[in-house]
Amino acid sequence: MEGIINVLKPPGMTSSDVVVWIRRSLKMKKVGHTGTLDPGVAGVLPICVGKATRLAEYITDQGKKYIAEVKFGSTTDTQDAYGKVIQETLPSLDKADLERILPDFTGKISQLPPLFSAVRKEGKHLYEYARKGIPIEITPREVIIYKLNLEQWYQGEFPKAVLNIECSKGTYIRTICHDLGQTLGCGAHMSYLVRVRSGSFKIQESWTLEEIEEAVRNNDYSFILPLTAGIDLPRVSLSEVRANAFRNGLPSRRDQVNLYEESNEPYVQVMEREQLIGIGVWRKEALYPHKVFK
The residues carrying an active-site annotation are: 38
Q: How far is CA 226 from the centre of its chain?
A: 19
- Which residue type occupies 92? S
Q: Which residues contact 218 (CB under 8 A, 6 or more apart)?
A: none
User: For residues 31 and 165, what is the distance between their CA atoms, to the nearest angstrom?
Assistant: 29
User: For residues 5 and 220, what is the distance between their CA atoms, to the nearest angstrom?
Assistant: 13
As a 3-state breakdown, the chain gives helix, strand, coil percent values, each rounded to 5, of: 25, 40, 35
- Residue 270 near residue 256, CB atoms below 8 Å: no
Q: Which of 133, 132, 161 is nearest to 148 (CA)?
A: 161
Strand partners, 148: 165
| 42-49 and 188-198 strand pairing | parallel
- Residue 52 near residue 3, CB atoms below 8 Å: yes
- Residue 61 near residue 166, CB atoms below 8 Å: no
- Which residue type occupies 256? Q
User: For residues 141 and 109, what is the distance between their CA atoms, to the nearest angstrom?
Assistant: 8
3-state secondary structure of 24: helix
